[in-house]
Amino acid sequence: MAGSRGAVDDGARPFVPARHTLPVMREAVQACRGCPLWRAATQAVFGVGTARARVVMIGEEPGDREDRAGVPFVGPAGHLLDEGLAAAGIARRDAYLTNAVKHFKYTLRGKRRIHRKPTRAEVEACRPWLDAELETLAPAAVVLLGATAAQALLGAAFRVTKSRGVVAAPGLAAFVVATVHPASVLRAVDAAARAAAKAAFFADLAVAGAWLARRGRA
Ligand code: URA
Ligand code: SF4
């Protein structure tokens, strides 16, 4: 009993290998039982990109398409993110894309799998994977995509609506930007609201792109 409770409290920690290389972790994450989300998901979705990436983009959790593909940001939100990265002048080889939570959480409505937001406990349980990715990558810049990622790394009181843009997060990276989640742009109520949300999202990404360009290649 004490053992099983310990496993829950530790979340993903017992499943993260001592050697934090990306290929080793990408394989090991499939065996993670650090919280209940693995049960209903197809597979874990680890980050994508190389260890030399200069900027880490952190989303919430994989969506329906990502769960099937095993790769983050391949669905509609990912397409918008790709467009924003290109507009910001951030090359794909410079970016590592990942999520705060590695398994898709959903409810079934008929045959459709409807996204559900991870709880704070699930985000906390999955945190050792994200910490290990950040430790391995030691990125110059981090972009937090939406409230789940921002609150995971900046604290539960953080509000993207109030404090989006460049934020101080010593210990995380030299340069940190908190912005909205691309899926929130796609959910905007009408075309005008969507255009405004997209412009603001792209502007946040552009700030990160400009900083990376100024800093030059390491
Ligand atoms: N939304 C996310 O937060 N992450 C993905 O990988 C896809 C959609
Ligand atoms: Fe492990 Fe994270 Fe998946 Fe939970 S969501 S089982 S902590 S990889």
CB 77 within 8 A of CB 186: yes
> What's the CATH number for 5-217?
3.40.470.10
Residue 89: CA atoms inside 13 Å, Cβ hemisphere, count? 11
pLDDT class of 9 with cuts at 50, 70, 90:
confident
61 Cβ closer than 6 Å to some ligand 1 atom: yes
What is the CA(127)–ligand 2 centre distance, in A? 9
- The model's pTM: 0.95
Q: What is the pLDDT of residues 71-130, one digit of tens each?
A: 999 999 999 999 999 999 999 899 999 999 999 999 999 999 999 999 999 999 999 999
Q: How far apart are the first and last CA of the chain?
A: 50
What is the CA(67)–ligand 2 centre distance, in A? 13
pLDDT of residue 210: 97
The full set of domain ranges for the chain reads 5-217
Q: What is the pLDDT of residues 146-161, one digit of tens each?
A: 999 999 999 999 999 9
12 Cβ closer than 6 Å to some ligand 2 atom: yes
Q: What is the pLDDT of residues 45-73, one digit of tens each?
A: 999 999 999 999 999 999 999 999 999 99
What does the chain come to in residues?
218
